[in-house]
Structure 1
Amino acid sequence: MSAIDFSDPATIAFLTEALTAAGVDGLEISRPGGQLRIVVAGKDGARISSTGATPPAPGSASAVVRAPMAGRFCLEHPISATPQNLPRSVSDLDIVGFVGVGHILLPLRAGRSGVLTRLLAEPGALVGFGDPLLEIEFQS
């Protein structure tokens, strides 16, 4: 039996549909390389979260926001009318982008306050787990 790739968008979409059809509230899978959590939230659809974001190196003046799963990278929400221009200030809780699988969007949080300075992936690009997406320079 081969290992299941939990970073594959098709696998995540299949699991989400199966959980919804079965009336299950959620699923959490933990492995040495990270964690995947799918929560079926009724009328709002499913929420997916996973670990794997790289914390900044000690003494580093910047950090990279990485893809927590495979999917399409979006800089702003698809229904947003306001484009996100760079550079721009962000707080630790700000959503700086999304990774989408089908109709499900996983928000990407800044994690630290600073200035969002650089795109490392093109909006709309297919990205894999751990791919660098954005760079944030810390404020001193």
Structure 2
Amino acid sequence: MSSIDFSDPATIAFLTDALTAAGVDGLEISRPGGQLRIFVAGNGGARISSAEATPHAPGSASAVVKAPMAGRFCVEHPATSAEPQNLPRSVSDADIVGFVGVGHILLPLRAGRSGVLTRLLAEPGALVGFGDPLVEIELPS
């Protein structure tokens, strides 16, 4: 039996639709390399979060946030009319530094580390694949 690719947008969309149709509130899948959570939020659709173990070299001066699934990279939430934030800017480990979207699914990207968001490694609106580097965060020394 082959393993299911939980980073595939089609698989996530299928799971979200199946959960919604079944009236299930949510699903959490944990594996050694990461975690996927889908919460069905009624009228507002599903909320999806994903965490992947990202190794960092000891003493490295920067961290890279990578795409947890394939989709379109967005720096700002598509529904917001706020002015885009300029770089560089300070971020905490829980700050959302962008989104990856597929259809009606929008996955927030958390910084994962506190530091200074120094540059975008992917163009806003670009199609990105699983594991593609999206933003770089300079870590405090």
Post-superposition Cα deviations, 1:70-118, rounded to whole Å, max 9, x if no partner, equal 2211011112221132211212221110111212211111122211111
Deviation at residue 53 of structure 1 after TM alignment: 4.7
Rounded to whole Å, the distance in 2 between the matches of 1:113 and 1:74 is 20
Match of 1:12 in 2: 12
Unaligned 5+ runs, structure 1: none
Counterpart AA for 1:89: S
Indicate if the aligned counterparts of 2:74 and 2:98 stay in contact, CA closer than 8 A: yes
TM alignment of 1:12-51, pairs within 5 A: 12-51=12-51
Distance 1:110 1:93, change over 3 A: same
TM-score (norm 1): 0.88
SS in 2 for 1:51: strand
Match of 2:60 in 1: 60
Match of 1:137 in 2: 138
Distance 1:111 1:119, change over 3 A: same
Match of 2:127 in 1: 126
Distance 1:34 1:91, change over 3 A: closer
- Taking only aligned residues, the RMSD between alpha carbons, in angstroms, comes to 1.7
Range with bigger deviation, 80-89 or 1-10: 1-10
Unaligned 5+ runs, structure 2: none
Post-superposition Cα deviations, 1:17-53, rounded to whole Å, max 9, x if no partner, equal 1110110111222334322221112233211112215
SS in 1 for 2:84: coil
The total of aligned residue pairs comes to: 140
Percent identity (aligned): 87
Deviation at residue 5 of structure 1 after TM alignment: 2.3
SS in 2 for 1:13: helix
TM-score (norm 2): 0.88
Range with bigger deviation, 73-82 or 34-43: 34-43
Counterpart AA for 2:59: G
Distance 1:112 1:32, change over 3 A: closer
Distance 1:53 1:84, change over 3 A: farther
The ranges of structure 1 where at least 4 consecutive aligned residues each deviate by more than 4 angstroms after the TM superposition are none
Rounded to whole Å, the distance in 2 between the matches of 1:133 and 1:53 is 16
Match of 1:80 in 2: 80
